[in-house]
Structure 1
């Protein structure tokens, strides 16, 4: 069987990860040290914004998981929906459903949606058992993160810390040119809208996931990220929106905490296509 690898399929997985990990804790730490040096200065509007974002970051990090509705536009003008659980309490993981036709995986499953997991640095796609080829009898496809981000980018996402919506928000908190755009109602909830633009120096160790020589995200055409966050009651984000190059990702948070543990499928049900995807020449955009 000859499998088709589409840019939409691989690109979506890349965008989904970057949506929650745009910035790393290294950059936040550096910026925090700079902020400490200026602690004796008068409180300004920028200081008030940073304080509000710091509270939102701490609350998000503390709760460790959320039910999220995500839409990703890879530059085609046709957003792809991903709904499910994001977890960052014990390493980054996700368990979502995405539209089968939108990600061009209808050759692999008759289901209208594809369940997609990210566990321990690898993606897993729930498919129908295939009649032959490398996926014969398998119910899941495995693709290592290195096939999406490149070796350098995948290394940035591995290990504990630095891979969660909270870490992404840390970058927003300490970015230059943060704006308070005022009160807005989002998903029926009262919020305050903040915006920041992050360039390469704000990305810390995660810039390899965007611009590494072996990274599929190098084709997005952007060298900065515009981040918008709407913070609601209890200092929790209601919406997080990021634009980088041709990609735009919007995450709506429906419920925080109390989500089920996300685990990898049984090994005997999994067919590993990491090398095939790496050799296919697929790109993220």
Structure 2
């Protein structure tokens, strides 16, 4: 595992400094023993952290849904807050309310918040019926995931595996090039242990595939070369908060309740106007 080799390398690098300052054969022997102990300690610590993160990932995946408060900061203006249900037990889906002004959707609705669904690989936005065009008389606007994540990315978020879910993101932790235990913290009134992991883009599996396609709208915002993931794990091995930073974008998820959430279904087709082609045409210039 890449993590194991990296942790050992850190320990050996520190021990090398001791070795170069040691004198005589006895000093060399002590330095060698120090190097071995440092490497073993680094690996053991990393393994302990990974065991805790693996338990949290497994528990999150097992429960399949949660009530979540999410804030997305694109680094270009007011962060977008989204509160509602995320589901990943039978394909990735969400049903949230987001701030209309922060999402810059005032032209489509007079409501202060926009109900937003992601289900069956597409986004649906609850809007006011428009006087003309593809949204004329429609209650919902649809944009297929391929217009947001690219064709390959959309495939990663669809199907029965829950791709793109919090649990799916957490699975990438096992590929982290660096992990740390930052100690005990209280988050949202709950005692937690704060962990941090740095993930290389090439190791992110489905999540990176969704971010990295050349045809992805998110591609320009995720060009930081790595993802830093902070996770606060509470009792019952469940995450209380998950924060991901990639490029200029920061996404923070606060988990209020796991399991037993409502089913998420697409709106009726006759109430929906599809803007997928228009969005793709804008991308192409």
TM-score bracket for the superposition, by shorter chain length: 0.7 to 0.9
Residues of 2 paired with 1:280 and 1:173: CA distance?
A: 37
The residue aligned with 1:94 is 94
Partner of 1:235: 237
Alpha-carbon separation, structure 1, partners of 2:156 and 2:235: 32
Query: Does the 8 A contact of 2:175 with 2:204 survive in 1?
Result: no
Contact 1:198 1:224 in 2 (8 A): yes
Task: Specify every segment of 5 or more residues in structure 1 that has no aligned partner in the other structure, as ranges.
Answer: 1-29, 35-40
Farther off after superposition, 90-99 or 192-201: 192-201
Query: Is the CA contact (8 Å cut-off) linking 2:71 and 2:82 kept in structure 1?
Result: yes
Q: What CA distance in whole angstroms lies between the structure 1 residues aligned with 2:151 and 2:245? A: 23
Moved more, 115-124 or 220-229: 220-229
Q: Is the helix fraction higher in 1 or 2? A: 2
Q: Where does 1:236-251 land on structure 2 (aligned, <5 Å)?
A: 236-251=238-253
Written as runs of structure 1 = structure 2, the 5 A alignment for 1:208-223 is 208-220=209-221, 221-223=223-225
Alignment of 1:150-229 (within 5 A): 150-161=150-161, 162-220=163-221, 221-229=223-231
Count residues in correspondence. Answer: 248
Matched, 1:269 2:271: yes
Separation in structure 2 between the aligned mates of residue 130 and residue 265 of structure 1, nearest angstrom: 17
SS in 2 for 1:216: coil
Structure 1 vs Structure 2 CA RMSD = 2.1
- Distance in 2 (alpha carbons) for counterparts of 1:114 and 1:144: 18
Deviates more, 1:202-211 or 1:51-60: 202-211
Distance (Å, rounded) in 2 between the aligned partners of 1:153 and 1:215: 8
Quote how far apart the aligned CAs of 1:204 are. Answer: 2.0
Structure 1 window deviating more from structure 2 (129-138 vs 156-165): it is: 156-165
| Shift in CA distance, 111/282, structure 1 to aligned 2, threshold 3 Å | farther
Residues of 2 paired with 1:237 and 1:55: CA distance? 10
TM, length-normalised to structure 1 = 0.82
The runs of at least 4 consecutive aligned structure 1 residues that moved more than 4 Å come to none
Instruction: Work out which structure has the larger RCO, using CA pairs closer than 8 Å and 6 or more positions apart in sequence.
Output: 1
Secondary structure of residue in 2 paired with 1:109: coil
| 1:202, distance to aligned residue in structure 2 (A) | 1.5
Larger Rg, first or second structure (1 or 2):
2
Q: Is the Cα contact below 8 Å between 1:152 and 1:215 reproduced in 2?
A: no
